[in-house]
Amino acid sequence: MDKNDMYNIYSFVSCNETWIPDLLIVIIALVGLAGNGVVISLLGCCMHRNAISVYILNLASSDFLLLCCQLINSLFIICYNRTYFIIMSIVLIPYITGLSILSAISIERCLCVLWPIWYRCHRPRQMSAAMCALLWTLSLLFSVLEYYYSAFFHGVDKLRLVDFIVVAWLFLLLLTLSVSSLTILVRILYGSRRMPLSRLYVTILLTVLVFLICGLPFGIYWFLLYWFPIGLNDFLCGHLLSVTIVLSCINSCANPIIYFLIGSFKQQHKSLKLALQRALQDSS
């Protein structure tokens, strides 16, 4: 089964069974777009940027783009009873970028925890911006290759090669994200010289946890379950895919909520700007 067939099945199930998943996606996406829009406007225009805020700005941008794509796709299904493969191909760009940026954040904070002096002395000043630009470029390249070989070039071998490269990249990102986040948690809780649990680390660890619960199933389903045949019927495949899409929207919607909740914890009547600043502060 190729990816065009997969989304035809998803569209058929959505149109002929129930619009509940797509209505949920629309509601979640609208909330998430508002939240991520606030984060983008604050970090982009109203706050001084540092290493972590550049990453969070790009993470919010990737979440915003993903929610836009899912919102447009669900509206097409609700209004016109059809979906477009190109829209779902574009979703790969923010999805891969979001995972990549989250992994980059975890790796940097892990290095800061393990070797703080070396990290502060050797980290380039513009590393965050350069890393984000590189990760966006890689994600765009992967998405273009996936769409080209799925829609125009029907060579199975080359499509599987592209799938293998993307799956390998996602697996590497997931591995580094898990190891670095676990290292941070162990170092904070059980290190010989225990570190104070700052708001920044709580924000990062909660964001990673939400991604593993809500964001990861979409990647597993898209690349692994359909790359390796599993023998499920079309009806079940369509419903599983709709569930993973809803979860991915919840993941993108949850990040701004995490920032503002952590930043405003034990602080009443604080503005959104101050709450976001506190959430990204490396202090308790």
Quick check: is 164 in a domain? yes
pTM above 0.75, yes or no: yes
The CATH number of the domain holding residue 170 is: 1.20.1070.10
Quick check: is 188 in a domain? yes
What are the start-end ranges of the H helices in the chain? 3-16, 20-41, 51-80, 85-114, 116-122, 127-151, 156-190, 199-210, 216-219, 234-264, 272-279
pLDDT at 52: 94
Among candidate residues 76, 71, 78, the one with its CA nearest the CA of residue 248: 71
State yes or no: pLDDT of 1 exceeds 50: no
Quick check: is 180 in a domain? yes
Count up the domains in the chain and report the number. 1
CB 113 within 8 A of CB 183: yes
The rounded distance, in Å, linking the Cα atoms of 56 and 58 is: 5
Quick check: is 284 in a domain? no
State yes or no: pLDDT of 5 exceeds 60: no
Q: What is the mean pLDDT of residues 120-125?
A: 87
What pLDDT, in 10s, does the model give residues 152-207? 766 667 777 888 888 889 999 999 999 999 999 998 888 666 667 789 999 999 99
pLDDT at 70: 93
Comparing 49-53, 208-212, 245-249, which segment has the lowest mean pLDDT?
49-53
Q: What is the mean pLDDT of residues 93-100?
A: 96
Nearest 5°: the CA angle 74, 144, 178 is: 80
Comparing 78-87, 128-137, 145-154, 219-228, which segment has the lowest mean pLDDT?
219-228
